[in-house]
Amino acid sequence: MILYSALVFAAVFASGTFLLLQRDLTRVVVGIILVSNSAVLFIISAGLTRGVAPIYPREGAGPVSDPLVQAMALTALVIGFGVAALLLAMVYRLYVTHHTVDAEEIADYEMRQAEALERADDPEGEEVPAEEQDAEPREEAGAREGSEAR
Amino acid sequence: MTGSSTSQVLLVLPVGIPWVLAAVLALLDGRRRWVGLLAAAGLGASFVSLVWLAFVVLREGPIATVAGGWPENVGISLRADALGVVFALVCIGIILVSLLYELPLGVRWRAFPALVLLVAAGLTGLFLTGDTFNFYVFFEISMTASFVLTGYREEDYQVRGAFVFAVVNLLGSVLFLIGIAALYSITGSLDMRVIAERTDVLEPSSVIAIAALIFAAFCLKLGLFPFHFWLPAVYVGSHAPVAAILSGALANIGSYGLLRFGGGILPRELEFGSTAVLVLGTASIIYGALHAISRRDTSEVMAYSAIGQVGYVLLALGVGGPTGYAAAVLYSVVNSLNKGVVFLTAGLRGPLVGGAFAVGAFSIAGVPPAVGFVGKIAVFKAAIAEDSLPVSLALVALIFLGGALSFLYSFQVYQRRFMKPGSEGKPSPRATRLLMVALAALVILLGLWPEALIYLSEAAADVLVEGAG
């Protein structure tokens, strides 16, 4: 029994870890769910004793199975559920803004953005784009005035 | 161990006030001014009750209570000792300052005050619990709230940062949970004191694997060298008060956990692995400082500096004993204050801000009038107290080197941020700037009058040494 639960724990944990290392963010979330559920399995196997259900008042004599691990497993499950929902919401948010859930594509996009910001920060390069930006609205404004006049 | 009924109520207050208030404020719109002020008032009340609790604990010894009047070992137990109270005080202080900082600037999210309160409730609960599983639950409360906080201001960059932060830290939490289950499996208890007693008589070989697992989990939270990869991405993307909460308050979970589990529950295993701890601390200090020097962005420099600074905590922990533990506590407290000042001022503009930042930078570098000097001295003392001479010499040399490197990057970043001509924008609200000046003044005041801090850290270290003995 202990061997079987250890094997199941190992299999779940390993597949969770494998998914965590993927580029697809939804797979990462599934990986985290699997890993946290493997922890629940581990908790249950940590107190694996046979006995009657631990409900008070006790019916019949004999050993009682450990109620503490069940309480812990339940708490861990609830926490894992809440966090999984939060992670999925974050992935959805990333999908809405980037139209992809691929970690590397999102990172590339951010790299380009950071470079653009750095160029804007650079004191030497700053003047030229600033003038251009200033110039464009003026022309546009002029064009608009012209069109209104017409 | 159990005090009078007043002190038991006192024990519940610091956790209870922010928790209940967070639940109420979650329903209200946090962008309204009065909601923010109410949250700040609640945190302030929690802070005041913690100060009171600290006085009682320091005078009368630890206080324990079981919620709901259950017998001991059945209900949720809270236990306050000097170590927990010191950490709780610092963390709530930093969170309170961060919240007050954000109020004049204008809160942008309706959930912001509630989330900050939840982080505070989780943290105080974690520092004041005597039960390992409750430790995990409180830890998840504050972590989950901070995952959401990292995405504050809704820029895409921050959502990705928040996602990375959440995934990495969840992995750490799962490792920690497995460690707790394993401890329960071999000792049959979740109570910290009982576990400490029972692991003492067990075979070391069965405990050492669990100790390594728990150590890895806390190092992941702390962002120590081989576990640091997530940290810069998160801190760089975060808004100033969020970065201050993450680095000044949440990172303390790692140092507290290492002290409580390493020094308090598994001291034999910590001693066994002290070489590994010292090596990791050294690697962290050098790696963090070198990376910090090579970066340009203020928050990026400070993120790498955070990796370096926790290395000192680990060094002190590796040395161990009363001096080492006291130094680790003192350094964590000092580091929280420094990071609070630096991260918060980095987000501001206008007069007086540069001065406050300079105080924080001085403090990180360990220059005398600031409190950072006291922290450096404590780690220095711990290094001298190390038994073997070569190790002691190497540690002293490392602390000097680390100090010199941190001096370099602190002032590089000061120059870039505050001495650049023509970078003046609209100055930040005066209330925020004055708050930062007050925090900087506190950093100098504690540096000039360090007796209180030293006394607190020694009292905290005594808790660990007595528990181990």
For the residues of A78-134, what is the DSSP string, one character each? HHHHHHHHHHHHHHHHHHHHHS--BHHHHHHHHHHHHHHHHHHH-HHHHHHHHHHHH
25-64 in B: which are within 8 Å (CB) of A?
A: none
**Partner-chain residue, chosen from A39, A69, A94, that has the shortest CB–CB distance to B159:** A94
CB spacing of B171 vs A90 below 8 angstroms: no
Mutation target to probe the B interface, by most B beta carbons within 10 A, among A24, A75, A91 is A75
Beta carbon pairs, A and B, within 8 Å:
79
Identify the pLDDT of residue A47.
Answer: 78
Residue pLDDT, tens place only, B181-203 = 988 888 888 888 888 888 888 88
**Partner-chain residue, chosen from A32, A76, A123, that has the shortest CB–CB distance to B177:** A76
pLDDT at A30 over 90: yes
Query: Which candidate, B159, B141, B140, places its Cα nearest to that of B150?
Result: B159
**Partner-chain residue, chosen from A42, A86, A107, that has the shortest CB–CB distance to B178:** A42
B99 touches B39 (CB < 8 A): yes
Identify the pLDDT of residue B91.
Answer: 92
Residue pLDDT, tens place only, A83-112 = 999 999 888 888 888 788 887 887 788 778
pLDDT at A143 over 50: no
CA torsion, points B467, B192, B251, A88, in degrees to nearest 10?
Answer: 170
How far is the alpha carbon of A106 from chain B, nearest alpha carbon, in Å? 8
**Partner-chain residue, chosen from B156, B157, B174, that has the shortest CB–CB distance to A36:** B174
How far is the alpha carbon of B29 from chain A, nearest alpha carbon, in Å? 21
CB spacing of A75 vs B137 below 8 angstroms: yes
For the residues of A54-71, what is the DSSP string, one character each? --SSPPSSS-B--HHHHH
Query: Which candidate, B264, B246, B376, B361, places its Cα nearest to that of B315?
Result: B376
How far is the alpha carbon of A39 from chain B, nearest alpha carbon, in Å? 6
**Average of per-residue pLDDT values in chain A:** 76
Which residues, given as ranges, of chain B have pLDDT below 50?
Answer: 1-3, 468-469
Identify the pLDDT of residue A126.
Answer: 42
Residue in A with minimal Cα distance to B154: A93
For the residues of B266-300, what is the DSSP string, one character each? -HHHHHHTHHHHHHHHHHHHHHHHHHHHH--SHHH
CB spacing of B181 vs A82 below 8 angstroms: no
B338 touches B345 (CB < 8 A): no
| Three state DSSP letters for B397-453 | HHHHHHHHHHHHHHHHHHHHHHCCCCCCCCCCCHHHHHHHHHHHHHHHHHHHCCHHH
CB spacing of A38 vs B133 below 8 angstroms: no
For the residues of A26-92, what is the DSSP string, one character each? HHHHHHHHHHHHHHHHHHHHHT----B---SSPPSSS-B--HHHHHHHHHHHHHHHHHHHHHHHHHH
Write the CB contacts of B134 (distance below 8 Å, at least 6 apart in sequence).
B76, B77, B125
Helix (H) or strand (E) holding B66: strand B63-66
Q: Which residues of A touch B133 (CB under 8 A)?
A: 72, 75
Residue in B with minimal Cα distance to A73: B181
Tell the burial category of B83 from Cβ atoms under 10 Å away from its Cβ (0-12, 13-18, 19+).
Answer: buried
Tell the burial category of B26 from Cβ atoms under 10 Å away from its Cβ (0-12, 13-18, 19+).
Answer: middle
Show the DSSP H helices in B26-153 as ranges: 33-60, 82-105, 112-127, 132-150
Identify the pLDDT of residue B425.
Answer: 64
pLDDT at A56 over 80: no
Interior/surface letters B194-229, b for 16+ CB within 10 angstroms, e for the rest: bbbebbeeeeeeebeebbebbbbbbbbbbbbbebbe
Residue B89 CB-half CA count within 13 A: 25
Residue pLDDT, tens place only, B216-256 = 898 888 878 777 777 877 787 778 888 888 888 888 888 89
**Partner-chain residue, chosen from A25, A87, A98, that has the shortest CB–CB distance to B156:** A98
CB spacing of B166 vs A25 below 8 angstroms: no
pLDDT at A145 over 70: no
Angle ∠(B314,B340,B444) on CA atoms, nearest 5: 90
Residue with tokens 């962008």: B31
Q: What phi, psi does B459 have (nearest 5°)?
A: -60, -40
Q: Is the peptide bond before B427 cis (omega within 30 degrees of 0)?
A: no
**Partner-chain residue, chosen from B160, B167, B178, that has the shortest CB–CB distance to A39:** B178
Helix (H) or strand (E) holding B79: strand B77-80
**Residue ranges of chain A whose CB lies within 8 Å of a chain B CB:** 20, 25, 28, 32, 35-36, 38-39, 42-43, 46-47, 68-69, 72, 75-76, 79, 82-83, 86-87, 90-91, 93-94, 97-98, 106-107, 110, 113, 123
